[in-house]
Amino acid sequence: MIAIRAMAVEDIDRILSLEAHTPEAPHWDCAAYERFLATPDTNDIRYAALVAVHGNDLMGFAVARLVLDVCELESIVIAENARRMGIGKALLLAVATWGLGHGAVRMELEVRGSNENAIHFYEKRGLIKEGLRRGYYRDPTEDAVLMGKRLDSDLWTVENFPQKTD
């Protein structure tokens, strides 16, 4: 069974390995994750870092921050051998639930323009394309598609986002 839990410093090496094997993922260094986990929440900004695990295996992770009332999904990465098993949906629901619990009214994200699978995944969950950031990504340089959705819609329900998968 897959469990979603808070990311810990001990997870960072496995997270770095997972993202290294995922070309479309943002590639942050160890210090970035350590800072993310150690940065204290303020009244205006909060942070969430979650992992999906099966036993000792890291199946995926998500990183988000809440700025005022907007939940910004910074990264969501699923291990290649664990895709299409509901783990991405479970992590997205967990981030949305966290955001709602802290007063978010919207979720926003950027995704590589060439990452058609991710764009389709987000569209299937009700996020819509809202803009484009030219040259946003590096290695390779690529445009970002801006996507967003209100968090109070019917799509953010447990029925649409199972929290646990077999």
pTM: 0.85
Q: Is residue 94 part of a domain?
A: yes
Please tell me what DSSP assigns to residue 27. -
Q: Is residue 12 part of a domain?
A: yes
Q: Is residue 139 part of a domain?
A: no
Q: Is residue 86 part of a domain?
A: yes
Nearest-angstrom CA–CA distance, 86 and 76: 13
Contact 115, 108 (CB under 8 A): no
Q: Is residue 39 part of a domain?
A: yes
Nearest-angstrom CA–CA distance, 49 and 84: 21
CATH code, 75: 3.40.630.30
Q: Is residue 26 part of a domain?
A: yes
Q: Across the beta sheet with 45-54, what order do the strands follow?
A: 3-6, 45-54, 57-67, 70-78, 106-112, 142-150, 128-137
Q: Is residue 159 part of a domain?
A: no
Residue recorded with tokens 């969430």: 48
Q: How far apart are the first and last CA of the chain?
A: 5
H or E element in which residue 88 lies: helix 87-101
Q: Is residue 156 part of a domain?
A: no
Total structural domains within the chain: 1
Per-residue pLDDT reduced to its tens digit, 83-114: 888 899 999 999 999 999 889 999 999 999 99
* Beta strand spans in 28-95 (E): 45-54, 57-67, 70-78
Domain membership of residue 9 as a residue range: 3-108
pLDDT per residue as tens, the chain (166 positions): 889 999 999 999 999 999 888 877 777 888 888 887 887 777 778 889 999 999 889 999 999 999 999 999 999 999 888 888 889 999 999 999 999 988 999 999 999 999 999 999 999 988 999 999 999 888 788 899 999 999 875 555 544 443 333 3
16 DSSP β-pair partners: none
